[in-house]
Homo-oligomer: A and B are copies of this chain.
Amino acid sequence: MNYKIALIKGDGIGPEIVDEAVKVLNQVGEKYGHTFDYTRVLMGGESIDACGVPLTDEAIAQCKASDSVLMGSIGGNTTTSPWYKLEPSLRPEAGLLKLRKSLGLFANIRPAYLYDELKAACPIKDEIIGDQGFDMVIMRELTGGLYFGERKTVEENGVLKAYDSLTYDENEIRRIAIKGFEIAMKRRKNVISVDKANVLDSSRLWRKVVEEVAKDYPEVTYSHMLVDNCAMQLVKNPGQFDVILTENMFGDILSDEASEITGSIGMLSSASLSETSLGLYEPSHGSAPDIAGTNQANPIATILSAAMMLRYSLNLDKEADAIEAAVKAVLKKGLRTVDIMSEGCTQLGCKEMGDAIAAEI
């Protein structure tokens, strides 16, 4: 089969890590008899530099015409890069937000788990992590809430006042809740829905709809947790979580906290899914402009994002398995990029790590 992949290399380490993911994808294609046709799509800083805006209509059309989108990372140093002198709607991140909305990518899946081999990198004490480690998925709503509500800044009686709004309707909540319970069915069958129902109307509606959806999944146990408590529980006992289901802003905060708790954010992939098979796949980490171009970046999160793409958008399960197994194999061999390096292991650059994983396929 032939698949059309839109490739957003982006900024900072984006180009390097995407190149390695392409290397691995091509190897998978060779082995399993697929071809991947890549279309370079500009977004973020690279698009600002080339086209004056962080995402053009043409770029959106190119993504829509593809089977899936694979992305590196966007954005630069917010204090030194000229991109951040532009007005907010023209900055790199605005491109990503626009793409999420344009492609209807309402479901963001961010896995956070501890690799056995990387336990040493985990910032949490062994007594807390225990022998089992932890393995959770954050199912974050991605096209609603504070991110896409109306906003304005106005002067009232000589005083500047800023407004943002947080809205959710029951359909938006229902479709993400269904995604959360569906993924739980393929995992340990537990959903913890996170909200701030003691304060927000949107959270109370969230709770109500989640309870309705839960009725259709009698095998899944579920409970509600307040967002402040969840921020504590992630540190106190990460092993209690299977699927965390939450709205956009809370998901932004909690998924970053959860990634950090693994101690190896360079390993964590993410998927943003729509109602169709079109999805966007990207590492959970950022564009790390300070190490861009130095061959130090860890390409594994992007390579695993490519595996998620095969699984969720292209329905190529065994091909996805092959990539994941290859990553496990190089870790077992003690190969490491600098961010996950530990004593007794062999340190590789970004390219060499890509080569090593491709070689395992």
A24-32, A35-43, A164-172, A324-332 - the one binding chain B: A164-172
Q: Which of B201, B228, B252, B259 lies in contact with A252, CB distance below 8 A?
A: B228
Contact B124 A162 (CB under 8 A): no
Most buried by B among A88, A91, A198: A198
Contact B151 A160 (CB under 8 A): no
> Does residue A318 face the partner (Cβ distance < 8 Å to B)?
no
> Does residue A82 face the partner (Cβ distance < 8 Å to B)?
no
Q: Give the number of copies in the complex.
A: 2
Most buried by B among A161, A199, A202, A265: A199
Contact B162 A198 (CB under 8 A): no
Nearest chain B CB to A142 CB, angstrom units: 12
How does the 8 Å CB contact mask read for A139-164 relative to B, with 1 for contact and 0 for none? 00000001100011100100111111
Query: With A and B bound together, what is the CA distance between A232 and B268 in angstroms?
Result: 14
A151 neighbours in B (Cβ, 8 Å): 200-202
Contact B125 A204 (CB under 8 A): no
> Does residue A257 face the partner (Cβ distance < 8 Å to B)?
yes
How does the 8 Å CB contact mask read for A259-271 relative to B, with 1 for contact and 0 for none? 1110001000000
Nearest chain B CB to A219 CB, angstrom units: 21
> Does residue A254 face the partner (Cβ distance < 8 Å to B)?
yes
For window 154-202 of chain A, which residues contact chain B by CB distance below 8 Å? 156, 159-171, 196-202
For window 233-270 of chain A, which residues contact chain B by CB distance below 8 Å? 233-236, 249-250, 252-257, 259-261, 265
A227 neighbours in B (Cβ, 8 Å): 252-253
- Are A160 and B256 also in contact (CB < 8 A) when A151-B200, A199-B97, A200-B151 are? no
- Are A204 and B166 also in contact (CB < 8 A) when A125-B123, A257-B232 are? no
Residue of B nearest to A152 (CB): B201
> Does residue A46 face the partner (Cβ distance < 8 Å to B)?
no
How does the 8 Å CB contact mask read for A69-104 relative to B, with 1 for contact and 0 for none? 000000000000000000010010100010000000
A124 neighbours in B (Cβ, 8 Å): 123-125, 235
> Does residue A229 face the partner (Cβ distance < 8 Å to B)?
yes
A260 neighbours in B (Cβ, 8 Å): 231-233, 235-236
Residue of B nearest to A97 (CB): B199
Query: With A and B bound together, what is the CA distance between A231 and B231 in angstroms?
Result: 8
Contact A168 B159 (CB under 8 A): no
Q: A163-B166, A228-B255 given. 7 additional CB < 8 A pairs?
A: A124-B124, A153-B201, A162-B200, A162-B201, A165-B165, A227-B253, A234-B257
- Counting from the closest, the 8 A-B pairs by CB-CB distance are A232-B260, A162-B205, A231-B257, A161-B169, A228-B256, A151-B201, A162-B202, A162-B201
**13 A–B contacts, CB within 8 A, in A order:** A122-B125, A124-B124, A152-B201, A160-B170, A161-B168, A161-B169, A164-B165, A164-B202, A228-B253, A228-B256, A231-B253, A234-B257, A250-B253
